[in-house]
Each structure stands twice: as C-alpha cells, then as structure tokens.
Amino acid sequence: MANDYTKIALQLQKYGTVQGLMKYINKESLKEQHKKQEKGKAVGIDNIRKEEYEENLEENIDNLLERMKKFTYRPQRTRRIYIPKEGSTKQRPISIPAYEDKLVQGNMAEILEQIYEPIFLNTSYGFRPGKSCHEAIERLDKIIMKEKVNYVVDADIRGFFENMDHKWLMKFLEKTIEDKNFLRYIGRFLKAGVMEGMKKYETDKGTPQGGLISPILANIYLHYVIDLWFKIKIQRNCTGGAYIVRYADDFVCCFEKEEEAKEFYEKLKERLNKFRTRDSGRKEQNNKVWEKSKWK
C-alpha cells in the first residue's frame, strides 16, 4: 500500500512546515521503489543489480530499515561516468548511486515532491510531474508574442549541479522541514562523495546528476534563489511587464523596458554570486539583453 501523504498537506496548510517525515520511509515504500527500478541499468560501486537485490528482498529491506533507524546507514559514493552532451562535443558527468541508495533517494524524492509541489511557482517546468520542456517553450512563446515584451534576458547557470552550495540548500530546506533526521540523511547524500575509476573525490558542494533526489533538490534551491526572488523583488518593482520561464537551470526573463532588463541582468549576477552559483555567459555577445525588434 502506498504512503498516505494527507498529513503532510494538512501540516503545510496549518503550520507552513512539516515534521515526522521519516515514517514515510518504510518497508512498503522501499519495496515500491524497488519495483520502480528498471532491470539492466548501470550499477553503482556496490555492483548490485535489481535482480540480485530481489533474491533476498524482504531480508534486505528489513536490514536497510534497521540501519536507518540506528543511523548506521550511510550512502555510498556514487560511481561517476561520462556520456555525450547533446548538441556539444563535451561530455556530461553522470553519477550512479548504489542500489540501496537508489531506493532511499527515490523514497525521499517522493516525500519532497509532496511537500514542495504545492509551494513551487507555475513559472518552473523542469523535473516536475505534469510539466514538460514543450510546455515551457509554449509558455515562453505566448509571453513573447502576446505580452508587452521588447527585451529578453537568456540565462543558464554554468555547472549548477556541480556547484550548488550545500549550506544554502540546507537553510532553504529548514524553512519548511522540521524533521532533523530527514534533513540529516539529505546531508549524508550530499556529502557521500564520488568514485571515478579508482579515484575517490569528496563532495563539499553540488548534487550529482544521476541521483534520484538531485532534480528536486535543484528545484528547491532555484525556487528560492531565482523564482521567488524574481516574483517578489523584480516583478513587483518593475513599472513595465516582466516575466520568467525556468526549466531546471535554464531560464528566460522577458521585459517591456530596456532599462529594467539591463538592471535585472546586473542584479542577477550579484544574486548568483551571493548564492555561489555562476552565470554561464552562454550566447553572450555585447551583453545578454536581447532586443526583440532586432531579432531575425
């Protein structure tokens, strides 16, 4: 039987915060995560596949839960591999968790989704249920064609997943989550480290691409760093139209007035520096403010 997350919604409505989340990581939820794993997928440093774990599934899950209760469970290092980056000659790092870590991460990601989906703004589209890249493009097209838009700021945060600041992420999580043990395990995943070939690397920043929990952690981070900031500090203070569409670490901001577009771009650089993220400078010519009337 799947977890009943009704109490999470009630806590959020009543208090704006949630606690008691560890109870949602249980035997049934971990078995459900096991069912979701695809056969034949690449393995982590434990070299365990779904079929092997399933041979003693009940015993393995019971053992995992016992270790989690005693806090002797520690996520293993992820195994880093490289795959071709679409539209580029560069390669993209992918980190593969150990099998048990996939189960726990998947379970925790599901819990986080229940907490944050009602909180996220409808201007973000990446890694969210019921939203897609196609919808983001469609929304952006409507803004540019139908709203009062003359200037566009195209932004991309270079190396975001590798550089996301752990301390800021934990501060953002603590705004809503009061379960210290749940947060403790998120911290352990962030600090688990990486194995590349025979070399070990510590992870004092970033969240590995390939981790099941990484997409929603990235969205939580950018919800506070970009989405809310744009709505409260930028949009409300603009005298002309101002709009944003974000898909993961890619986002486009549209403005009616040139001076407000340029002012936003300068503030954006300061914002990214404050939260220890970096602007890519992608497509940069003279600056990153594009004038609609000069598009070809």
CB 67, CB 57: distance < 8 Å: no
Between CA 175 and CA 155 the distance in angstroms is 27
Between CA 215 and CA 128 the distance in angstroms is 9
The answer, as to whether pTM is greater than 0.85, is yes
Structure tokens belonging to residue 133: 């890249």
pLDDT tens readout for residues 89-100: 788 889 999 999
Structure tokens belonging to residue 183: 């947060």
Which residues of the chain register pLDDT less than 50? 279-287
pLDDT tens readout for residues 172-197: 999 999 999 999 999 999 999 999 99
Q: What is the pLDDT of residue 295?
A: 59
